[in-house]
Amino acid sequence: MNSKAKLDAELRTQALLMSAIELLNWDQEVCMPPHGIYSRAALTGLLTSFFHQRVKDTILPLLREIEASPDIDEETRAEVRLMLEEAEIAEKLPTDLVRQFSEAASIAQQAWAQARAQSDFELFRPHLEKLVQLSQEKAQAIGYQTEPYEALLSLYERSVTPQQVEALFSELRPFLVETIRLCREANLLGLAGPPLRMPASQQKELIRRVVSQLGYDLSRGRIDESEHPFCTGISPDDVRITTRIYEDDLTMGLLSALHETGHALYEQGLPREPQGWPRTKAAYLSVHESQSRFWENHIGASLPFWTYLYEKVLPDYELDWLSDYSPLTLARRVNHIHPHLIRIQSDEVSYHLHILLRFELERALINGDISVRELPALWNEKIAEYLGLTVPTDAQGVLQDIHWSMGSFGYFPTYSLGSFLAAQLAEALTHSYPDWQERLAEGDGTLPLKWMREHIHQHGARYRMQELCERATGAPLSVQPFIRYIQQKVSLLYEGLAIPA
Amino acid sequence: MNSKAKLDAELRTQALLMSAIELLNWDQEVCMPPHGIYSRAALTGLLTSFFHQRVKDTILPLLREIEASPDIDEETRAEVRLMLEEAEIAEKLPTDLVRQFSEAASIAQQAWAQARAQSDFELFRPHLEKLVQLSQEKAQAIGYQTEPYEALLSLYERSVTPQQVEALFSELRPFLVETIRLCREANLLGLAGPPLRMPASQQKELIRRVVSQLGYDLSRGRIDESEHPFCTGISPDDVRITTRIYEDDLTMGLLSALHETGHALYEQGLPREPQGWPRTKAAYLSVHESQSRFWENHIGASLPFWTYLYEKVLPDYELDWLSDYSPLTLARRVNHIHPHLIRIQSDEVSYHLHILLRFELERALINGDISVRELPALWNEKIAEYLGLTVPTDAQGVLQDIHWSMGSFGYFPTYSLGSFLAAQLAEALTHSYPDWQERLAEGDGTLPLKWMREHIHQHGARYRMQELCERATGAPLSVQPFIRYIQQKVSLLYEGLAIPA
């Protein structure tokens, strides 16, 4: 067997191991009985260590051999280089640091949960300090060109630097602040109309129907409920999502299901062969998030979608509030702008100010410009400056998100990058299919999926996000499409309200 | 690290791998979307091959080294020998034969499903012939003392020979035939009273309540529904069962849940340490089956249990048929004797004639005394002889069970051995706790579980079934306790009806 055939076989095994790990994680969230966690942690740890050990022992030498060989075509070589980059990062991280990090994160998560429950940052502080210090060591081990945070960001999104993220936010921030100001002036902050109540069993039925209509193949997937909704790609033929149902409001469960459906459509649309190669895997996080944001916001929060729901779906359920609404007033309700202390309860506009705040703070922490001790006060200042809100307790402030307690520094920016990319892809989609929204209003969701299959899904992780963006839209990633998207939506929903870019 | 410590670590890894395989199988039956099977088969195959490769490459040499070492105690040496026996079988089977067998079985299962649907044995015949031939090769590879079938039986129950199974059945058969004749004469074959209808949601609630009462810890387990009920032990802290609910009769789903609960109580009662050693694993199949049969029949089909249900449980549901019954008439209904063409729909008495028939036929097949071509006619003759029934179609005859299409020859006898052992354990239990049935009638199911924990569960697979039986009951396995159990039950339920042994 030559090296290429050996690599094929090894990558196939890696893909299968990863799908076992995915299934273990899904089961842990959805099915596992409470006490199952004791041996589950050891099992997930075992398969993960098999996976990583094989990267170092088997995959890396094969990749080096093949990269140096003259016999392979340029496409293959490009993918080999992508894999090499990742495997070399794994190689650079000392086993001891990885172990220390994993233990510290595990303890920090417990401390964070307790600190949040008691709204007492001091309980969390020493653990966060430890994680920042270990993350700084991680950054040193990986290496960087201009600042330590660059190394951590690259773990989640390799084709973007902190400077680029900063530039995108600098361009966007005045628009976000101005939009919130204008909406407040126009008195758009409140909600009109009765709550969209719906029994859980009906919501589940409706969600199955709607996501199937949008192209999620449930013979290759399933929908469950969990505390924190998520999507798991076990294989392209087994892609599962969860959602969380609130009986007093249809919107939250439905939009969260659409978000996860975006992830699921991507996973279901990945090529099957050659198994384990980059082109069969999802790209880095911002590309994944572009898909979830597209289906959640550009579809789920759009007037055409609510027109379809209002005309074709909702009349099938006996909803006493339906007669109080029109498609337009429903879409207004879904799109109301209401700056909120909590990121995950925020609207599409103020959401990105939440991310900007976290990006600025975690970058300064990792680069050593601020200390963990200063964090709560800095958090509260920025919330006041960006959103005009006062933080009453740390539980509703600096302690609200789990990410830092997991040691995930560099992750937050991908949420915004995904939204920006979603808007840019939506413009390109409209260019290809100018009538996709009219057809969506009729209940036909095939065009967006067709376009994404062709321009995003079929490539898997062959290209970094920036290259994929250019190939799909003809331009590098920009915040301008996102700005235009918000402008258009606001002017469509609230006649006469125009927000300058 | 010395060899013993190395073995400890390796066995721990094996136990974790096996729990991953168990979870994959559970998920496949309960959760996996239909198309997920394509890559699931490859994944299960990968982990199984990891497991077996490690037995040959790592475990076997360590076991040999430790067995030869003078430094270990006799208890450890005994367990090492048990593991060696199994590992050496794995070593004897040529990889090529294992692969051929697995492929042939996979194809044969599909052919069997089609043959059964069309009731056309010819569609299945060539595949069964192939499996018989490969099983004969397997028997040769493993080796045996008196007949090829011995080698296959030993894969499922190591401490019993075909001659011993034959002797047990020779002793039992006249009793079974006579019981059916007497019940027919006494006109006990029909069912009196209205069907025990109950909505599925209520049945599920009742099952959870009853099995919890009997000691199944649902914080370390869960109950789902599946086509074929089963139990999966992922770890002692994660033991899951399934059942199948029939809304027109409470009995089937409940008894099937109690059967699986017996398996689950065993798995939950296994020692946790030293992980991967025989004492932490379930013993061979007949011991496992003794637990399921005990909870299904000695508890679930007993008058005390139906007294408890009648007095403490069923009144909480609005059941319009309840007033038509007493505990006695309910127990009579559950225990009605009705020879049936289908094994899994048979009563406790005729069931073992079904097993005897399969044992005789598969033994003759493997030993080369009959051909696959003769099988349907021989089947039908034996059904007429043992049960007095006429087989109308092969679908209701020779094609009814899946086991042979999976290449599982030697498996069926463990079903009967398990029942015999259950009856023998029940007598020993009664000797220790003479009032366990009175307390069960009050809803207290702790004594049987306490006794089984002490005499069966805590030993795991340290002893072979025969040794375990002697240790727990003071005597080798016998059919006499089973005969007494049926006699007592019939005379209790049907006053005046006495069946001679």
pLDDT number for residue A227:
84
A422/A262 Cα distance (integer angstroms): 11
- Interface residues of A toward B, Cβ cutoff 8 Å, are 13, 16-17, 19-20, 23-24, 27, 31-40, 42-43, 46-47, 217-222, 234-235, 237-238, 240
Task: Kindly report each contact of residues B446-453 with a partner whose C-beta sits within 8 Å and lies 24 or more positions away, as own/partner.
Answer: B446/B215, B448/B294, B448/B295, B448/B298, B448/B299, B449/B214, B449/B215, B449/B265, B449/B269, B452/B265, B452/B266, B452/B269, B452/B291, B452/B294, B452/B425, B453/B269
Residue type, B490: V
Tens digit of each residue's pLDDT (9 = 90 or more) over B273-289: 999 999 999 998 999 99
Task: Collect all residues of chain B within an 8 Å Cβ-Cβ radius of residue A220.
Answer: 33-36
How far does the CA of residue A98 sit from the closest CA of chain B (Å)?
A: 21
Task: Collect all residues of chain B within an 8 Å Cβ-Cβ radius of residue A237.
Answer: 33, 35-39
Question: Picking from A136-140, B135-139, B155-159, which range would have the lowest pLDDT averaged per residue?
Answer: B155-159
Output the DSSP codes for B443-472.
Answer: T--HHHHHHHHHHTGGGTTSS-HHHHHHHH
Dihedral angle sign, alpha carbons of residues B66, B68, B73, B74: positive
Half-sphere exposure at residue A142, Cβ-oriented, CA atoms within 13 angstroms: 25
Q: How far is CA B161 from CA B88, B153, B167, B168, B357, in A?
A: 19, 7, 10, 11, 17
pLDDT band at residue B106, thresholds of 50, 70 and 90?
A: confident
Q: Nearest-CA residue of chain B relative to A17?
A: B43
Catalytic residue among A260, A289, A348, A362: A260
Query: Which pair of structure tokens corresponds to residue A223?
Result: 């929908």
Query: Which pair of structure tokens corresponds to residue A58?
Result: 């088997």
Q: How far is CA B386 from CA A196, A370, B231, B346, B489, in A?
A: 65, 86, 31, 13, 22
Instruction: Give me the percent of chain B exceeding a pLDDT of 70.
Output: 99
Which phi and psi angles does A88 have, rounded to 5°? -70, -30
Provide CB contacts within 8 A for B116, sequence distance 6+.
Answer: B124, B394, B395, B399, B400
CB within 8 Å: A16 and B221: no
Provide CB contacts within 8 A for B148, sequence distance 6+.
Answer: B136, B139, B140, B366, B367, B368
Residue type, B138: K
B454 catalytic, yes or no? no
pLDDT number for residue A498:
79
A276/A83 Cα distance (integer angstroms): 10
Is B495 a residue whose pLDDT tops 80?
no
Task: Collect all residues of chain B within an 8 Å Cβ-Cβ radius of residue A37.
Answer: 237
CB atoms within 10 A of CB A193: 12
Query: Which pair of structure tokens corresponds to residue B251?
Result: 């009995």
Query: Which pair of structure tokens corresponds to residue A291?
Result: 């898909």
CB within 8 Å: A16 and B218: no
pLDDT number for residue B123:
97
Question: Picking from A37-41, B238-242, B350-354, B428-432, which range would have the lowest pLDDT averaged per residue?
Answer: A37-41
For residue A238, the surrounding DSSP H or E stretch is strand A238-243
Query: Which pair of structure tokens corresponds to residue B69?
Result: 């070492």
Query: Are A228 and A344 contacting, i.e. CB atoms less than 8 angstroms apart?
Result: no
pTM for the complete prediction? 0.92
Tens digit of each residue's pLDDT (9 = 90 or more) over B405-418: 999 999 999 999 99
Which phi and psi angles does A275 have, rounded to 5°? -50, 130
pLDDT number for residue B1:
67
Task: Collect all residues of chain A within an 8 Å Cβ-Cβ radius of residue B220.
Answer: 33-36
In the 3-class helix/strand/coil scheme, how is B71-84 assigned residue by residue?
Answer: CCCHHHHHHHHHHH
Query: Are B87 and B60 contacting, i.e. CB atoms less than 8 angstroms apart?
Result: yes
Per-residue pLDDT, averaged over B419-444, amounts to 97
B421/B159 Cα distance (integer angstroms): 13
Please report the ipTM that was assigned to this predicted complex. 0.90
Provide CB contacts within 8 A for A54, sequence distance 6+.
Answer: A10, A13, A14, A17
Query: Are B145 and B151 contacting, i.e. CB atoms less than 8 angstroms apart?
Result: no
B445/B395 Cα distance (integer angstroms): 40
pLDDT number for residue B41:
85
Domains in chain A, ordered, with CATH?
3-156 (no CATH), 200-338+420-463 (1.10.1370.30)
Q: Closest partner residue to B39 among A19, A35, A47, by Cβ?
A: A19
Q: Nearest-CA residue of chain A relative to B236?
A: A36
Could you tell me which of B288, B293, B271, B289 has the C-alpha nearest to residue B280?
B271
Q: How far is CA B417 from CA A238, A403, B172, B423, B490, in A?
A: 40, 55, 12, 10, 21
Which residue stretches of A227-350 are H helix? Answer: 250-268, 285-293, 303-308, 327-334
CB atoms within 10 A of CB B194: 12
A222/B30 Cα distance (integer angstroms): 12
Give the alpha-carbon dihedral of A206, A210, A216, A219, to 10 degrees.
Answer: 40
DSSP, collapsed to helix, strand or coil, labels residue A239 as strand
pLDDT number for residue A284:
87
CB within 8 Å: A20 and B17: no
CB within 8 Å: B31 and A31: yes
A109/A93 Cα distance (integer angstroms): 22
Which parts of chain A register pLDDT below 70?
A: 1, 188-191
CB within 8 Å: A220 and B36: yes
Catalytic residue among B157, B260, B296, B348: B260
CB within 8 Å: B19 and A39: yes
CB within 8 Å: A16 and B46: yes
